[in-house]
Amino acid sequence: MKTTAYSFCFLVLLSFSPFTLFTAADDHGHSAGITPDEALKRLQEGNERFAAGKAEHPNCQPDRVKETAEHGQHPVATILACSDSRVPLEVVFDQGVGDIFAIKVAGNVSGASQLGSIEYGVAHTGTALVVVLGHTKCGAVTAACTDGGHEGSVESLMQSIAPAVKRIQASTGKTGKEAIEPVCLANIYYQIEALFAGSEILREAVKSGKVKVVGAVYDVETGKAEFYGPHPKTDDLLNGKTVSGIEPQSAEPVAAAVTPEVLAKSIGLGTGISVPAPAGEKTTVKTVISVRYPAARPGSFRDFMQKKGSFMGR
Ligand SMILES: [Zn+2]
């Protein structure tokens, strides 16, 4: 019922808003016709080809340009990634024209415009998969970990990454340069939380089972992307619960060697929750600090489009 109500509201919105600016160009409601897992497989296989030096450069010919112009876009995935020039999405996933609905912003943070773009990718171009992609050696994450990035508007990016820095400091004790790698992953999960907190469109899409939101890290040294799957607390996030806002509690210390896999499972979990380590050992989230999300932004996409409309004199 909820889905029906949502669809109706969305259609009404489409009829009376600047959404119509895009409807002529895009075939909204149509997707690439693949499931989230099939989309994930395509990205993984494309990345394997790229990393192995066997890229096929699909969908890069003039006929593809013509095809997408005539029939609209049906991208494989919506990806929120860092602006870093070493992470060109179509290249590293060996995709082409019309294949990736890309949102690039330094530090892959999820401000209102990024959220609006993701909602557009899901609700309008029909992508079944949303990836929040961080990367190694990220300048934005490095700056956030080492008290840099205070110049101009860069500061706002630092504020968006700061919750992840605080989480890692609280859960592992790591600060400065040694925190960069774990903060990269923690930031991905924090941004996923912010996306769900701010977007009913995204929550409903995932609840319906038609869309998945996953985290991944791209290694700028190997060219390989590692996918970490959905946020471990996705069910809570879908029900509007924040997985932060939990008071710090003492628990067993985090295992000395926190692997990315363990960390991926532990970031965002409540205090005192044991998660199995790959080696069969147990590690425990030491503390989870309180983090406040930005206020819910149910109309991000609409706000975004209204801004766009104003730029165009509408
Ligand atoms: Zn970066």
275 Cα to the center of ligand 1, angstroms: 29
Where on the phi/psi map is residue 142: left (φ > 0), alpha (ψ -120 to 50), or beta? Answer: alpha
259 Cα to the center of ligand 1, angstroms: 21
pLDDT of 241: 75
Question: Taking a C-beta distance cutoff of 8 angstroms, is the pair 44, 67 a contact?
Answer: no
In 3D space, the residue among 201, 87, 98 whose CA is nearest the CA of residue 136 turns out to be 87
Encoded tokens for 212: 């998945």
Question: Taking a C-beta distance cutoff of 8 angstroms, is the pair 139, 83 a contact?
Answer: no
List, for residues 176-221, the tens digit of each pLDDT value: 999 999 999 999 999 999 999 999 999 999 999 999 999 999 999 9
Rounded Cα gap, residues 161 and 94, in angstroms:
29
264 Cα to the center of ligand 1, angstroms: 19
139 Cα to the center of ligand 1, angstroms: 5
194 Cα to the center of ligand 1, angstroms: 18
Domain ranges of the chain: 2-311
310 Cα to the center of ligand 1, angstroms: 31
pLDDT of 240: 78
150 Cα to the center of ligand 1, angstroms: 16
168 Cα to the center of ligand 1, angstroms: 18
**Bigger pLDDT: 293 or 281?**
293
46 Cα to the center of ligand 1, angstroms: 21
Q: Is pLDDT above 80 for 162?
A: yes
Tell me the pTM.
0.73
Q: Which CATH number fits domain 2-311: 1.10.150.120, 3.40.50.11540, 3.40.1050.10, 3.40.50.10470?
A: 3.40.1050.10
Number of Cβ within 10 Å of residue 143's Cβ equals: 21
41 Cα to the center of ligand 1, angstroms: 24
Q: Is pLDDT above 60 for 22?
A: no
pLDDT of 31: 58
Encoded tokens for 177: 């340069």
135 Cα to the center of ligand 1, angstroms: 6
27 Cα to the center of ligand 1, angstroms: 32
Encoded tokens for 29: 């409601």
List, for residues 97-130, the tens digit of each pLDDT value: 999 999 999 999 999 999 999 999 999 999 999 9
Encoded tokens for 277: 């380590």
230 Cα to the center of ligand 1, angstroms: 21
Residue 239 binned pLDDT confidence (cut-offs 50, 70, 90): confident
pLDDT of 299: 52
